[in-house]
Chains A and B, each alone.
Chain A
Amino acid sequence: MRLHLAVAAGGFRRYATYGTATAAGVFTNTVFGFIVAYTYIALWDERPGLGGYDQAQALTFVWVSQSLLAAAALIGGGFQEELQERIRTGDIAVDLYRPADLQLWWLAADLGRAAFQLLGRGVVPLVAGALAFPLALPSDPLRWLLFLVSVLLALVVSFALRYMVGLVAFWLMDGAGVNIMATLASVFFSGMLLPLTVFPGGFGEFVRVLPWAAMLQVPMDVLLGKHAGAGGAAEALGFQAGWALVLLGTGRLLQSAATRKVVVQGG
């Protein structure tokens, strides 16, 4: 546990070093927030109550998703390219030697990164959005607490998916194609492009049970109070925890299959 805390702290500090990059990221998230907010206003003007949200809730959706975007690595970023590079160069052999579990090691590092990006890139865009638009942020501290738990689960689900994407390099060597496909799925099925409740009919129901829904749509709905009552909250968090366990487990299977495959070159 102490080891993993140290790894997480390392992940946090590593990203905290890049001050200008963080400032640039905040600027970008804010600019995108404004653009998307205006388009949502036009859409919800035309169709009030679309997807079960009023306009203030829709705008909250926009700004909170901009705040979570970097932390949950919704449009890429994070560690998977680095893992792939270590697999390609063979450095992974050194990692496998270490008396620490590979998956938990990367999880700790990624959560450290996410914690920094939640603070460094999350707070300012949300404040900017709240100043410029009427948002439906809850005043109930319990709701915020539930939201934070939900965000933590979202980060674990996001990690678990990207860990598998990283491991694919054991078989493919060049991860570029898989990375693009993974980003594609995460942007579209997480609710980043459009809230999943707006997706029509059976297709909408289908996308709402996929693991990507646990990465953005569910935390958003927890914050907006769509899962009211203890039962609703338990269901939402249970959905996320379920996917987290399934994906971490699959990742572990993939990892043991991959490590059996490792051939360490001399030198």
Chain B
Amino acid sequence: MAEAEAAALSPGARAGGFAVDAGPAPERGRPRRGGPVREGLRGYRLIVAMWIRSTMTYRTSFALTTVGQAAITLLDFVAIFIMFSHVDVLGGFTLPEIALLYGSCSASLGLADLLLGNTDRVGARIRDGSLDTMLVRPVPVLAQVAADRFALRRLGRIGQGLGVMGWALWTLDVDWTAGKVLLVPVMVIAGAAIFGAVMVTGAAFQFVTGDAAEVQNSFTYGGCTMLQYPPTVFAKDLLRGVTFIVPLAFVNWLPALHVLGRPDPLGLPGWVAYLSPLVAFVVFLPASLAWRAGVRSYRSTGS
């Protein structure tokens, strides 16, 4: 799983252009520590570059789908906006405060979706037997699955999320400290890593269930729908669940509450706001184990 986490953090993986950077030649002879990670990253980069070239063949379609993707996710915010045409606060939070929650979670999910989102296709690949092809290629399966049909149009969601977040930060009267300034980008990146771990766990789960990609969606898309509203709206038990079991609260609730200078409804101390990167790191352990177990248990359908 280290592969994917590293992929998520590598600037090269964000694939700014068409240049295919083949990277250093594969090591020969004695295997080095970190070798598989580098192999995985290199494979990921090559597959991503291929998909971007193929996307760019139809530029109009690419532009339309990117704008469409941004617009579709922006509609959630339009719904919140319409709600605020009737009320001044929701769960005690104002529109710009909710915009901060909405924007940060949208950007995090978009980033995770761009880098790892297509892992949910693993069920389809198990059913049609094409996972077999991936297993014989000299690139880690996770890197191949993550880069499969890499969809650059997902930049649309990231862009609109960052846009709404920018508006929120510009409008809000935040009592800035150095820690809070640092916390904002950390929140978005660690949030993406937490969503990424959920995606990998969901993909691993599909080795058992075959076609249950939607369960994964209810934690990622559903989670983001929840996180765009203030935690005060939800029942305490639900908050405990998303703090201690599937730690989605660390994606944006806890850091954003700290930035806004608001107390956490569960009464956790203020410093937990800074724990998101650690939480992201920790949740990748079970995700990684689940993925390995999934690949090991894989029996081809034979088709």
Give A contacts to B, CB under 8 Å. 18, 20-21, 23-25, 27-28, 31-32, 34-36, 38-39, 41-43, 46-47, 50, 174, 176-177, 180-181, 183-184, 187-188, 193-194, 198-200
Contact = CB atoms under 8 A, between A and B. Distances in A.
Nearest to A193: B79
Contacts of B235: 38
The secondary-structure label for the interface of chain A is: helix
Contacts of A176: 61, 64-65
Contacts of B64: 176-177, 180-181
Contacts of B136: none
13 contacts: A20-B209, A23-B212, A42-B232, A174-B61, A177-B61, A177-B64, A181-B64, A181-B68, A183-B72, A193-B75, A194-B83, A198-B86, A200-B82
Contact of B214 (A27, A34, A42, A198): A27
Nearest to A75: B72
B222 interface: yes
Nearest to A188: B75
A174 B87 contact: no
A27 B65 contact: no
B33 to A, nearest CB: 39
Most chain B CB within 10 A, of A32, A42, A184, is at: A42
Interface of B is mostly: helix
The interface centre, meaning the residue of B60, B64, B89 with most chain A CB atoms within 10 A of its CB, is B64
Nearest to A26: B214
B128 interface: no
Contact size class for B?
35 or more
Given A34-B238, A38-B235, A24 B68 contact: no
A35 B222 contact: yes
A23 B212 CA distance: 8
B72 A21 contact: no
B215 to A, nearest CB: 5
A183 B238 CA distance: 30
A31 B234 CA distance: 13
Contacts of A34: 238
A97 to B, nearest CB: 28
Nearest to A198: B82
B152 to A, nearest CB: 13
Given A24-B212, A174-B58, A176-B61, 9 more contacts: A27-B218, A32-B225, A34-B238, A39-B90, A46-B86, A47-B87, A180-B65, A188-B78, A193-B79
Interface string B215-257: 1011000100110010011110010000000000000000000
A48 B15 CA distance: 49
Contacts of A198: 82-83, 86
Nearest to A199: B82
